[in-house]
Amino acid sequence: MTEELAAESDPALLGIGIVANIVQVTVQGYGGLEVRRGTKHFAPGAKVWVVPPHWDWSDRLYVVGRHRGRFNRYIAVVMRRDFLENLRVRGVYSPALARALADVVGRPFWNSVEDAQMMLDQW
């Protein structure tokens, strides 16, 4: 997989990102009394892209994904890391997704596959 993502000869590859899925059931609210399928903004199992962190919040991440009600729009949300599962490194090929990631921060991608994998290992 690393050779696949690191291939610089692929003109469609726009950058390296971390992808995750939203957990099936989330527990929220005061005392964990609110049980919900997915989150307010994302359906369970939805694919989201994690933006490289720019702060020292170890439990919250900026993610970009398609909203549960408006599938044609990307939104950016800060969410708890325990709402994410199946984190993995993937290449970004969609120009619309690249624009949505760049709108959140100036540096939307990881520098290399190794940097992204090192972040996953820390989490």
Which pLDDT score is estimated for 51?
Answer: 82
Point out the residues of the chain with pLDDT beneath 70.
1-11, 28-29, 31-35, 54-58, 70-71, 106-108, 123
Residues 11 and 41: their CA atoms lie apart, in Å, by 32
Residues 56 and 111: their CA atoms lie apart, in Å, by 19
Tens-place pLDDT, residues 59-84:
788 888 888 876 678 888 888 888 88
Cα separation values, 12 from 91, 94, 106, Å: 10, 8, 20
Residue that is written with structure tokens 């800060």 in the block: 78
Q: What order do you get walking across the sheet with 47-50 strand by strand? A: 74-80, 60-66, 47-50, 15-22, 84-92
Which pLDDT score is estimated for 11?
Answer: 67
Which pLDDT score is estimated for 2?
Answer: 47
Query: The pTM is what?
Result: 0.77
Residues 119 and 37: their CA atoms lie apart, in Å, by 27
Residues 60 and 62: their CA atoms lie apart, in Å, by 7
